[in-house]
Amino acid sequence: MATQNLLQAIHDGLAEEMRSDETVMVLGEDVGKAGGVFRVTDGLQAEFGETRVMDTPLAESLIVGAAIGLSVNGMKPVAEIQFADFIPPAFDQIVSEAARFYYRSNGAWEVPMTVRAPYGVVPGGALYHSQSVEAYFCNTPGLRVLAPSFPADAKSMLKSAIRDPNPVLFLEHKMTYRLIKQDVPEEDFDVPIDKAKVHREGTDITVVAYGLILHHALEAAEKMEAEHGISVEVVEPMSLYPLDKDTILASAKKTGKVLVASEANLSGSVSGEIAAVVADGAFEWLDAPVRRLGSPDSPAAPYAKPLMERFLIGKEEVEAAMLELAHY
């Protein structure tokens, strides 16, 4: 075991796959000599060379388009989008091309491509560095959308994503890169790529959360039990698409009350889909309406600090929502 933060675990996952499989390569803006804007790919170009850790122009459609071409020609590219906010120019390539390649070729062509994208609010990030883009892609059959929130899970799931024969969008919350630390096994280990994870058992309410909000929820759950005697079960849907409905529904039926929390804008978010799954599959077990918590429907996180703090979902908001739901 080695204690690592999320950034270090992802770096090691990439390096290990590149050492074990010569068809794995990395491409993106500043991923080579600079080691990436967050330093996730630091040192990889020195170890593997410029042809396997390739700096690209500032053109996201080119990055993903090239990755698609590489993937159907025997490579397993990992394309980095420097910030998830910059992914729209590559939307057509991801959704219209990569996700549909296997289907439209009647299974003749696989696209073993992984797209890494740092997402979520970061202080001072404002319009173009703080967006949650997951909902745009969670309506795309043929594409996996993963968003693990702990280092060990992220490392294992990234390795599984690289090995997957079809395209994967791998989301990494920027605020958790250095904030969240955990003991990570040094040997190869397997975390299922399509399963949700119950981080904390409980009996009174279920909280379904991911990203930075998951860590807020875990802290709030401890406080709820210590101060109010409320037992909170916390579930992380590490695969946002497709969802592990069975784990979510089992928890909902167990507790009878469900809070779905994320950092994304509330309208049209993944939390709405999770709430619909619960309402459809566990209605007879519910003791309260499904509650959702999310950011305001603002075009983007504000730059001004007071406004940004108002926009963010913090620990206090998570605690208040838990308490309100528990007392319903």
168 and 146 in contact (C-beta within 8 Å)? yes
Q: For the residues 98-106, what does the mean pLDDT come to?
A: 96
Which SS3 state, helix, strand or coil, does residue 115 take? strand
Amino acid 175: pLDDT: 94
Q: What CATH topology corresponds to 2-184?
A: Rossmann fold (3.40.50)
- pLDDT digit string (tens) for 24-40? 999 999 999 999 999 99
Asked whether the predicted pLDDT for residue 120 surpasses 90, the reply is yes
In the chain, beta strands by DSSP E: 2-5, 24-28, 53-55, 76-80, 114-119, 144-146, 168-173, 181-184, 197-200, 205-209, 232-236, 239-241, 258-265, 291-295
Q: Report the candidate in 162, 107, 146, 150 with the shortest Cα–Cα distance to residue 270.
A: 146
Considering the four listed CATH numbers 3.30.70.260, 3.40.50.920, 2.70.150.10, 3.60.120.10, the one that applies to the domain covering 197-326 is 3.40.50.920
Give the Cα separation of 298 and 58 in Å (integer): 27
Give the Cα separation of 268 and 156 in Å (integer): 29
Whether 2-184 shares its CATH topology with 197-326 is answered: yes
- pLDDT digit string (tens) for 51-63? 999 999 999 999 9
Give the Cα separation of 263 and 130 in Å (integer): 10
- pLDDT digit string (tens) for 226-237? 999 999 999 999
- pLDDT digit string (tens) for 166-200? 999 999 999 999 999 999 998 888 899 999 999 99
Q: For the residues 129-156, what does the mean pLDDT come to?
A: 96
- pLDDT digit string (tens) for 284-306? 999 999 999 999 898 888 888 88
Asked whether the predicted pLDDT for residue 99 surpasses 90, the reply is yes
Enter the pTM of the model: 0.96
Count of all residues that appear for the chain in the document: 328
Give the Cα separation of 324 and 274 in Å (integer): 20
Amino acid 226: pLDDT: 96
Element at 48 (helix H, strand E): helix 44-48
Asked whether the predicted pLDDT for residue 123 surpasses 90, the reply is no
Question: What's the pLDDT band for 19 if we cut at 50, 70, 90?
Answer: very high
Residue located via tokens 């089992």: 250
Angle at which helix 6-20 crosses helix 151-163, to 10 degrees, equals 30
Task: Domain ranges for the chain, please list them.
Answer: 2-184, 197-326
Catalytic residue among 11, 129, 173, 216: 129
Tell me, yes or no, if 199 is annotated catalytic. Answer: no
The one-character DSSP state at 95 is I
